[in-house]
């Protein structure tokens, strides 16, 4: 570790050196692959402490700075408050008393089924999205789901250990598009589509979608929604406010990612061009 702090005993210190989806047919637009930029590597000469913490999947770099400032981070057993510290693979880093490791970033697309909880651990021992990943426990340790789909909602879910990307994807500033298919027990009337776009009053304020349209006619039981908001159970509450019962809710597109070719309950790793596309959307490239 650099910046004047002592190295671990017995080791010599080393100085650190998508676009918007159309809802009529529900697919997303394709994006050019573009070029990538490589960040610092923990296996190289050194990595800034806040980047190391984000790489470990703890939080974003900005949030890591806050943890450092509060004295919640230790390097080689010593509490640090300096933001310019760099660490190497030989250093031991702890956050809130828990040792962390800056593993290589993983990006996984999961087609979440119903009756599955979007969390790392469930105190009631219900099935979680992490249980669906056929990976060794050691590899799952730093992974977490990005955002939340409620228990009875299926569809596209991103799982990663890239704290910085996850933070930006969920931040309202970047207005990341999400596309849903909603099926209702009773037909949805045309003026109710307009109400969804103009805004529906909920207990926590007004909520609206960016686009709303019938998925197929003449039936009016299935509606496609495009939105960038993401409050708790927002779609279900909006339809309840209009007097509708939702019988099926699926997220078919998240930031340009779809579950095409991935069966319910299955997953795949993202392709490099998909990772680059995600990062471009939130200005990381």
pLDDT tens across 164-193, in order? 899 999 999 999 999 999 999 999 999 999
Question: Does 3 or 62 have the greater pLDDT score?
Answer: 62
Whole-structure pTM value: 0.72
Would 12 be classed as within a structural domain?
Answer: no
Whether residue 223 sits in one domain with residue 182: yes
Q: List, for residues 187-236, the tens digit of each pLDDT value.
A: 999 999 999 999 999 999 999 999 999 998 888 999 999 999 888 899 99
b/e for 115-147, b at 16 or more Cβ within 10 A?
Answer: ebbbeeeeeeeeebbbebbeeeeeebbbbbbbb
In terms of residue numbers, what domain contains 87? 47-100
Catalytic: 194?
A: no
Among the listed residues 122, 131, 137, 150, the single catalytic one is 150
Using CA atoms, how far apart are residues 40 and 44, in angstroms rounded to an integer? 7
Closest CA to 270 of 106, 57, 145, 31: 106
Q: Which of 77, 100, 123 is the last residue of a domain?
A: 100
With the C-alpha atoms ordered 181, 183, 187, 191, is the resulting torsion angle positive or negative? negative
Whether residue 160 sits in one domain with residue 119: yes
Q: List, for residues 19-47, the tens digit of each pLDDT value.
A: 445 565 554 433 333 333 333 444 446 88
């Amino acid at each position: 570790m650099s910046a004047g702090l002592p190295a671990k005993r017995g080791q010599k210190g080393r100085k650190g050196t998508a676009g918007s989806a159309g809802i009529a047919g529900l697919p997303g637009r394709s994006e050019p692959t573009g070029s990538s930029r490589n960040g610092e590597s923990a296996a190289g000469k050194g990595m800034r402490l806040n980047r190391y913490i984000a790489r470990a999947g703890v939080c974003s770099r900005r949030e890591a700075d806050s943890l450092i400032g509060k004295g919640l981070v230790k390097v080689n057993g010593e509490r640090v408050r300096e933001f310019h510290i760099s660490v190497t693979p030989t250093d031991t880093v702890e956050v809130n008393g828990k040792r962390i490791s800056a593993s290589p970033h993983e990006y996984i697309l999961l087609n979440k089924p119903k009756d599955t909880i979007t969390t790392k651990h469930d105190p009631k021992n219900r099935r979680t999205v992490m249980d669906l990943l056929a990976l060794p426990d050691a590899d799952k340790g730093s992974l977490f789901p990005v955002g939340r789909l409620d228990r009875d909602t299926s569809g596209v879910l991103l799982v990663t250990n890239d704290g910085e990307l996850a933070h930006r994807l969920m931040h309202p500033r970047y207005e990341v598009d999400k596309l849903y298919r909603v099926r209702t027990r009773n037909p949805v009337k045309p003026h109710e589509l307009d109400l969804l776009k103009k805004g529906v009053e909920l207990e926590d304020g007004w909520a609206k979608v960016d686009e709303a349209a019938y998925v197929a006619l003449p039936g009016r039981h299935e509606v496609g929604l495009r939105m960038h908001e993401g409050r708790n159970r927002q779609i279900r509450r909006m339809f309840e406010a209009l007097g509708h019962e939702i019988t099926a809710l699926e997220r078919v597109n998240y930031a340009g990612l779809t579950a095409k070719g991935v069966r319910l309950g299955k997953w795949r790793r993202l392709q490099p061009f998909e990772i680059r596309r995600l990062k471009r959307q939130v200005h990381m490239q």
